[in-house]
A and B are shown apart, each in its own frame.
Chain A
Amino acid sequence: MKSSGTCPQCDVPLRRNGFRVQLFEDAGVEKDIDIRRRILREFNKQEEEFATLREYNDYLEDVETIIYNLVNGIDVLATNKKIEAYKRDNRESIVRNRARGRTEEDELDEILQMENELNEERAREEQERLQAEKRNKVQKKEALIDELMTSYGDAKKIVASHTKVAEPEAPVAPKPRPKPTQFSSGVRIGSTRLPAVPIVPQDEGEPFVYAAPELAMDGPAAPDSERLSADGYLSHIKRVGDAERAGGYAASLGCLRALQEGMAGLLFFPGADG
């Protein structure tokens, strides 16, 4: 089989190893992400390299315009020229950003890998537990049959004793397998990471100081709710039934409410002090 041919529709020469597996259902999406990946490998400026937010946004918009043009086949020649011009102008910054981008990607990959491993571990444990249960059941059945066969006791009693024994057996938790952190040669698994950038302390404003709410009574103060029973106020209020107490009502609530209403406003004189 020849390793190259031409597309029947657009006569573009194609090579066998230039094909790849389609990940997304829509071919348009595939094309888009392919172009996007190629372009963003070149246009990888970060926000810090721009003076204002406006310039950064303009840059991003330019990138999107280029991608859009290439995807939809608008002005392909002019766009390609633009890409070449940009590549020539920013060769060093592209290379620098590429190196920086790689480490970030690696971190993400590591996190993903750990999550995957966790999931696998969980699935494995689940499987083992199910297997163990099945084996257990089969064993018990066989034991029951053996006993019925060989012993001389009452059949019913044997069955009863077997079912009783089956219940109190608590499930044995599988021992967590220690994850390998080292290869046998002593090399640590997992990349050696540089220490993270120290966190800049942010200004969070004034710390909150609690101030108890003040009740504007316009009259003498009612006794504290804690002192109600000690001072004997509660003995003069209606007895609280069980149903009321179950609902959350307490004698102190009613007592305090009545006392507060009796005291509040006693010294309220509209227009007196303006």
Chain B
Amino acid sequence: MKKILPIDAEKPTGASLISTAPKCLRKNVQSFFLTPSEEKIVAQYYECHLRDFCKAFQPPMPKAVSGTASHYFKRFYMHNSVMDFHPKGILVTCVYLSCKVEEFNVSIGQFVANVKGDKEKATDIILNNELTVMHGVHYHLTVHTPFRPVEGLLIDIKTRCPSLQNPDRLRPIIDEFLEAVFFTDAVLLFAPSQIALAAILYAVSRVQENLDAYVTSQLLASAARPQLQALVEAVRKIRLLVKTVEQPQRDVVKQLERKLDKCRNQENNPESQAYKRRMREMLEDDDDVPSYKVARVDSDS
């Protein structure tokens, strides 16, 4: 059993602690904290959780809300570490925030009814983390998901390419593709319309049809050749990402979670003493009333 190093309360993050620890402990320290690839696995695992949470949500949640929540989660963990903010709390906060932003009206009570476990604790976690998540996303709250571009492209196909019979039969395949896309990093790398085009082309190839003529001659008639090639390359990359996505293994994640529990930043863990102390200090700072005793003046001396 490894000895737990005494953590300096000056906001330890992985790199700073590694550099200040004595050399003999440095190797241990590196295996004490999560490596970036391990962090990614943990984040991915919790993102699957997020999608399942959204799917099982009552009242039924529109896809855009789920997509936005996923997006916030991804962006948040681009700038922050899972050791600083545990994914479980950020998950529910992202979903709550995206419900507000996408105008899918749920009160906090209705929301935590969907959360398993202590409802009150969940409420506290969500409301305390909301600002953190917004800050972590750099306050870019409007997210362009690929769903509306898909609709737009379908309208265009229906109007300008009548040779494709009944494009609506492509919808279930498109949905499946977009679901898979959210498990990859594609939304952070490509424009939503590019992902939408990739989804449509994938669906079209699945039903053994071909839309290349439409794409090159009608949709992108005004584009230059190199741009067209770059787009084809982008679509290919997206489809490759989706094909090679793999879900993290449960036992691997369990092991990582145990590691995370030991090395997480206790100041942000609502169950720890450090957090409770910080909350109490924050509240006490608000009291401006100085408590001093006034000397009593004897009136009849």
A and B associate in one complex: yes
Question: Chain A: which residue is nearest B228 at the CB level?
Answer: A267
Contact A265 B159 (CB under 8 A): no
Contact A266 B159 (CB under 8 A): no
Contacting B220 at CB < 8 Å: which of A258, A266, A272? A266
**Chain B residues whose C-beta falls within 8 Å of the C-beta of A231 in the assembled complex:** 159
Contacting A268 at CB < 8 Å: which of B152, B158, B194, B196? B194
Contact A265 B194 (CB under 8 A): yes
**Chain A residues whose C-beta falls within 8 Å of the C-beta of B231 in the assembled complex:** 266-267
Contact B158 A236 (CB under 8 A): yes
Contact A233 B150 (CB under 8 A): no
Contact A260 B194 (CB under 8 A): no
The yes or no answer to A144 lying at the interface (CB within 8 A) is no
**Chain B residues whose C-beta falls within 8 Å of the C-beta of A265 in the assembled complex:** 191-194
The yes or no answer to B245 lying at the interface (CB within 8 A) is no
Contacting B156 at CB < 8 Å: which of A218, A257, A262? A262
A89–B177 Cα distance when bound, in Å, is 97
Contact B152 A262 (CB under 8 A): yes
Q: Tell me the smallest distance from the CB of B91 to a CB of chain A, in Å.
A: 27
**Chain B residues whose C-beta falls within 8 Å of the C-beta of A264 in the assembled complex:** 191, 193
Question: Chain B: which residue is nearest A266 at the CB level?
Answer: B193
Question: Chain B: which residue is nearest A233 at the CB level?
Answer: B159
**Chain A residues whose C-beta falls within 8 Å of the C-beta of B154 in the assembled complex:** 236
A218–B194 Cα distance when bound, in Å, is 11
Contact B191 A266 (CB under 8 A): yes
**Chain A residues whose C-beta falls within 8 Å of the C-beta of B223 in the assembled complex:** 220, 267
The yes or no answer to B171 lying at the interface (CB within 8 A) is no
The yes or no answer to A232 lying at the interface (CB within 8 A) is yes
Q: What is the number of contacts between chain A and chain B, taking CB atoms within 8 Å?
A: 75
**Chain B residues whose C-beta falls within 8 Å of the C-beta of A260 in the assembled complex:** 152
Given contacts A219-B193, A267-B223, contact A236 B155 (CB under 8 A): yes
Q: Tell me the smallest distance from the CB of B232 to a CB of chain A, in Å.
A: 11
Q: Which of B229-244 contact A (CB under 8 A)?
A: 230-231, 234
Q: Tell me the smallest distance from the CB of B104 to a CB of chain A, in Å.
A: 18
Contact A262 B230 (CB under 8 A): no
Contacting A257 at CB < 8 Å: which of B148, B159, B221? B148
The yes or no answer to A255 lying at the interface (CB within 8 A) is yes
Q: Tell me the smallest distance from the CB of B217 to a CB of chain A, in Å.
A: 12
The yes or no answer to A148 lying at the interface (CB within 8 A) is no
The yes or no answer to B212 lying at the interface (CB within 8 A) is no
The yes or no answer to A259 lying at the interface (CB within 8 A) is yes
Q: Which of A215-274 contact B (CB under 8 A)?
A: 218-221, 231-233, 235-237, 255, 257-269, 272
Interface centre among B152, B196, B219, B223 (most CB of A within 10 A): B152
Given contacts A220-B223, A266-B231, A267-B231, contact A259 B152 (CB under 8 A): yes
Question: Chain B: which residue is nearest A219 at the CB level?
Answer: B193
Given contacts A233-B155, A233-B159, A267-B223, contact A262 B193 (CB under 8 A): yes
Question: Chain B: which residue is nearest A237 at the CB level?
Answer: B155
Contact B193 A261 (CB under 8 A): yes
**Chain A residues whose C-beta falls within 8 Å of the C-beta of B221 in the assembled complex:** 220
Question: Chain B: which residue is nearest A258 at the CB level?
Answer: B152
Contact B234 A262 (CB under 8 A): no
Contact B192 A258 (CB under 8 A): no
Given contacts A236-B155, A237-B155, contact A269 B150 (CB under 8 A): no
Contacting B152 at CB < 8 Å: which of A218, A261, A267, A269? A261
The yes or no answer to B149 lying at the interface (CB within 8 A) is yes
Contact B193 A236 (CB under 8 A): no
Contact B156 A269 (CB under 8 A): no
The yes or no answer to B274 lying at the interface (CB within 8 A) is no
Per-position 1/0 for B152-195, Cβ under 8 A of A:
11111011000000000000000000000000000000011110
**Chain A residues whose C-beta falls within 8 Å of the C-beta of B144 in the assembled complex:** 261
Question: Chain A: which residue is nearest B234 at the CB level?
Answer: A269
A220–B149 Cα distance when bound, in Å, is 13
A89–B156 Cα distance when bound, in Å, is 89
**Chain A residues whose C-beta falls within 8 Å of the C-beta of B197 in the assembled complex:** 266
Q: Tell me the smallest distance from the CB of B170 to a CB of chain A, in Å.
A: 14
Contact B151 A258 (CB under 8 A): yes
Interface centre among A218, A260, A268, A272 (most CB of B within 10 A): A268
The yes or no answer to B227 lying at the interface (CB within 8 A) is yes
Question: Chain B: which residue is nearest A221 at the CB level?
Answer: B222
A137–B28 Cα distance when bound, in Å, is 107
A259–B153 Cα distance when bound, in Å, is 6
**Residues on B facing A (Cβ under 8 Å):** 144, 148-156, 158-159, 191-194, 196-197, 219-223, 227, 230-231, 234
Given contacts A220-B220, A232-B159, A261-B149, 19 further A-B pairs with CB under 8 A are A219-B193, A233-B155, A236-B154, A236-B158, A237-B155, A255-B155, A258-B152, A258-B155, A260-B152, A261-B144, A261-B152, A261-B193, A262-B151, A262-B152, A263-B152, A266-B231, A267-B230, A267-B231, A269-B230
**Residues on A facing B (Cβ under 8 Å):** 218-221, 231-233, 235-237, 255, 257-269, 272
Can you list 15 A-B pairs with a CB-CB distance of less than 8 A?
Answer: A220-B219, A220-B221, A233-B155, A233-B159, A258-B151, A261-B148, A262-B148, A262-B193, A265-B192, A265-B193, A266-B197, A266-B219, A266-B231, A268-B191, A268-B194
